[in-house]
Structure 1
Amino acid sequence: MTSSQKDPLSRLGEDDREGAVRRLQEAYADQRISHEEMDERLDLALTATTYGRLASALDALPEEHPGTPSTIGAAGGRIHRRGRWRVPRMLKVESAYGRVRLDLSRAIIEDPVVDIELRLGTGGARITVPRDAVVDVEGLRTGWKDLRYKAPRRSRPGGPTVRISGSTGFGRLRIRHALR
């Protein structure tokens, strides 16, 4: 749901504000708005407390489209990503059988929200997220074994939100936060 579809009087969250700032910066970079107009709209977006006020900062800008997801797939064998790799806004991981290891702890994450869609058959999966990340597994369906994830007692603000959705078959999914 975009900010224009939400109740104009409801309070907005930091993710919505950050998304609006990003849209304004992209519009300026694409020369859709002038420098002065960007300054005015940024001021509106940064001081907005409701969706209606935020929508006025984004008037006449094209709707944001998240784009197409990047896909990592393997029929068999392993899928392994670690170190400094660029995490796309939307990532689809497909594996019929075999292990999946995604380590986002040192990855380059440019977006405040990352969507990871899993389509796993057999074989386990382990995802390591940054220490300050917020993990959302609401859209995930597990098959044979339960999800293993323990949210940290204390979370620091400013980290990305990692939304994990999709389905796992006969393997176990483990999600953990990086130690540092």
Structure 2
Amino acid sequence: MTSLPEDTSLIDEDDRDTAVRRLQEAYARGHLSHGDLDERLHQVLTARTRSELVPPLTSLPDEDAGSTSTIAAAGGRIRRRGAWQVPRTLKVASAHGTVHLDLSRAVIGHAVVDIELQLGTGRAKITVPRDATVDFDALHTGWKDTRYRPRRRPRTGGPRIRISGAMGFGRLKIRHAWR
């Protein structure tokens, strides 16, 4: 019997946060005792490599990956605003047209929301909650740069919005809500 090689790659903050969240969810659903939760949290918080994250997560039920929704249009306008339910992963595709996603009053039930944009031409505007943090390093733009001005005094505790994908000819504008 051949053993698999151990994954010695270093973990990042997202890996650790995901592991902690999985343990907390398992505890909340009654799959772990309080003592078991404490022991496993200690293992996760002191782990340095991916292989060290495996033992504390081994006997947990499968993770609920959350929902994934896709919004697609060949042209025209894609708009979401008001009190809409934001899925864990939102995929937005448009050959040409405008996209406006307003998350300021939306119901966000996840600590991290991934938005994948696949836009040909046209512009996109995303309004995020005041206390959100935004990461758009994985977004590739072909023609114009993304416009985003982080808050001067960032707030903590809000969702993390990760924007990825590709934009051809157009610009993405990200702004924080006023209220």
Report the TM-score, using the length of structure 1 for normalisation.
0.79
What is the 5 A alignment of 1:135-174? 135-174=134-173
Q: Percent identity?
A: 53
Counterpart residue number, 2:3: none
One-letter code aligned to 1:107: A
- Write out per-residue CA displacement over residues 37-72 of structure 1, whole angstroms, 9 at most, x where no aligned residue: 343333345556323787554331145363663100
Unaligned residue ranges in structure 1 (runs of 5+): none
Counterpart residue number, 2:46: 50
Whether 1:39 and 2:41 are equivalent positions in the alignment is no
For the residues of structure 2 that align with 1:167 and 1:85, how far apart are their CA atoms? Answer: 24
| Correspondence for 2:26 among 18, 24, 27 | 24
What is the 5 A alignment of 1:26-175? 28=29, 33=31, 37-44=32-39, 49-51=45-47, 57-64=56-63, 66=65, 69-175=68-174
User: Does structure 1 retain, via aligned residues, the 8 Å contact 2:67–2:87?
Assistant: no
For the residues of structure 1 that align with 2:81 and 2:92, how far apart are their CA atoms? Answer: 14
Q: How many residues in Structure 1 have an aligned counterpart in Structure 2? A: 169
> How far does residue 17 in structure 1 lie from its aligned partner after superposition?
5.7
List 4+ stretches of structure 1 deviating above 6 A. Answer: none
Higher relative strand content: 2
> How far does residue 20 in structure 1 lie from its aligned partner after superposition?
2.6
Unaligned residue ranges in structure 2 (runs of 5+): 1-5
